[in-house]
Amino acid sequence: MSMPCNTQCAKRQMLAEFRRHPAYCKNNAQLAKISEFERNYRSADAIRWYTKDSFLHTMINEALRTEDPRVLYIYRFYISDLCKRLEETSALNRGCQKSSFRVYRGAAIDRDEIEKFCVGMLVGSNGFLSSSRSSEVAKMFMGLDQITGMSPSQSQTNKQQYVLFEIVIDPDQTIDLMMADVSEQSNYPEEQEVLFGLGTTFITKQIKHDNQHNVWHVEMTGSSEMGELKKEHTKHVENGVRYYDATTLFGVFLSGVSSNYPVAINYLQSRLRNMTFNDPYRASIYYFLARVYRHLGKLQHSIEYFRRAMLLRKRSLPQSCYAYADTLADLAVTYSQVNNTAKAVSLHEQAITLFRRILPPNHIDMPLYYTQLAYSYWQEKQYEKAHSLLLTALLILKEDKTSKFSGITFTMHTMGLVKYAMSQREAAVSYLKEALELRRKFYADDHPSVAQACYSLALIYMDNGDKQVALDYAQTALTIYQTKLPKDHIDLKKSTELVERILSS
């Protein structure tokens, strides 16, 4: 995402955050390292600084693991540099490395986590991932006895298990995989470090346990599948930069993927408090706050903030025509969730009328708005109208070669609902399962959109007497909602009732 990164202001913000951190604010040795960074850091040295035994590696990965938009925005100065240097080094490596090779990573993880691993599973990382061309280096970092090769674990039942990941990289099959041999830029070249970029994914090929040394061996291959999906989704989000400021979109993008809605609200409210009354981006903050409140089930709050955004954008027509229409469409979605479907249909139709004035008929944004209106038609039992709109949306999506993720999961899901309402069960299940598969690939497994697809599938299987399959989907949805949503959220209530209904049937 296009963000203001390489500025002295951004650098000062980041250093101030480091110096305030509880682990460093009274640690003179670490404060001295922070001052050294302030004096000597150059963008070209980003990888070398990352490999140093210092505050930087720890702080950056802690921020990436927690996905706190506020902290990540503050760290943008360095994260942007590191990503650029990795991309450059990766491109150079691709020219030199033609054949397949292996890298290794050792880790100590909870038994519950290793039990989740299965062959064919897609495994992703939140942060930058370090590995080594040497298995001995990886074993040393995971804490194995250097003489016997034994792990500290006594058996497979111990809470902490020790895992040696063996990653096979085929350059011809993973062209988009962001990884770089950084040994020449490292402070510790003997570690033969290979560094993977943000959000790298792997496919599990083999899992076995070495009973003699009490070590798990997990063989994986690099996968560019998630990178492609994220690239398409990022492209879709970046289209909004023309209408919204990048700083606001940063928090919304991260919270959308991680579904950390309370963090997003704090971030956006903080932005709002620091704005002047006439700030040109105030409407954007109102708009995104409304969206996050909707995710939390605070629908009246959502309606209120959408109305505020709508009023501000209406004042600046015709320049704000796209943003105004977008706000109308999102307000309509919220009205559909409070079951005011007539109001939702009216607002959606107004929005689409405006979009047709400013966008070409096959514009990639149009399928989303057609699908939103189709969903409202489905609520009103106008199934033929809904079906016709969804066919139009799918036609545009299939003609656009970049639409692997953008908008298509919502369209697939809604088509599944409409097909079932039209008594086409097999087609309904097919569309819903495809939507579920795409959502699981892009989002975390516990994202609410995954739960929505599981809930819809559970209803269909329950109606058709497939009790066990229905229960599996319903319990998956319920588990996600219990983790991600407030206790009074309507989706959590409906999901709880569905599980109880299946169990009592």
pLDDT in tens, 394-428: 998 887 655 545 468 999 999 999 999 999 999 99
- Apex 84 CA angle, 79 and 90, nearest 5: 120
Computed over every residue of the chain, the mean pLDDT equals: 85
Is the CB of residue 453 less than 8 Å from the CB of residue 439?
A: yes
Euclidean distance between CA atoms 71 and 372, whole angstroms: 34
CB neighbours of residue 259 within 10 Å: 21
Taking only the tens place, the pLDDT of each residue in 36-73 is 999 999 999 999 999 887 788 888 888 877 766 667 77
Query: Which regions of 54-159 does DSSP assign to beta strands (E)?
Result: 101-110, 122-124, 129-132
Is the CB of residue 29 less than 8 Å from the CB of residue 35?
A: no
Is the CB of residue 498 less than 8 Å from the CB of residue 458?
A: yes
The per-residue pLDDT string of the chain (505 residues; one tens digit each, 9 = 90 and over) reads 444 444 777 888 899 999 998 888 899 998 999 999 999 999 999 999 998 877 888 888 888 777 666 677 788 888 888 888 988 888 888 777 778 899 999 999 988 888 888 887 777 777 788 999 999 999 998 889 888 889 998 888 888 999 999 999 887 776 667 888 999 988 888 999 999 887 788 888 999 999 999 999 999 988 755 455 455 444 444 444 444 455 555 545 544 544 567 777 877 887 788 788 888 888 888 998 999 899 888 999 999 999 999 999 998 888 778 889 999 999 999 999 999 999 999 999 999 999 999 888 888 889 999 999 999 999 999 999 999 999 999 998 887 655 545 468 999 999 999 999 999 999 999 999 999 998 887 776 788 899 999 999 999 999 999 999 999 999 999 999 998 888 888 999 999 999 999 999 8
Query: Which regions of 149-282 does DSSP assign to beta strands (E)?
Result: 160-169, 179-181, 193-196, 201-210, 215-223
Please report the domains of the chain, with CATH numbers, ordered by start residue: 8-88 (no CATH), 98-226 (3.90.176.10), 243-352 (1.25.40.10)
Distance from chain centroid for Cα 325: 26
Kindly give, in sequence order, each residue whose CB lies less than 8 Å from that of residue 121, ignoring residues fewer than 6 positions away.
203, 204
In the chain the first and final C-alpha atoms are separated, in Å, by 49
CB neighbours of residue 29 within 10 Å: 9
Is the CB of residue 471 less than 8 Å from the CB of residue 502?
A: yes
* Per-position DSSP letters for 390-425, written without gaps between them: HHHHHHHHHH-TT-SSTTHHHHHHHHHHHHHHTT-H
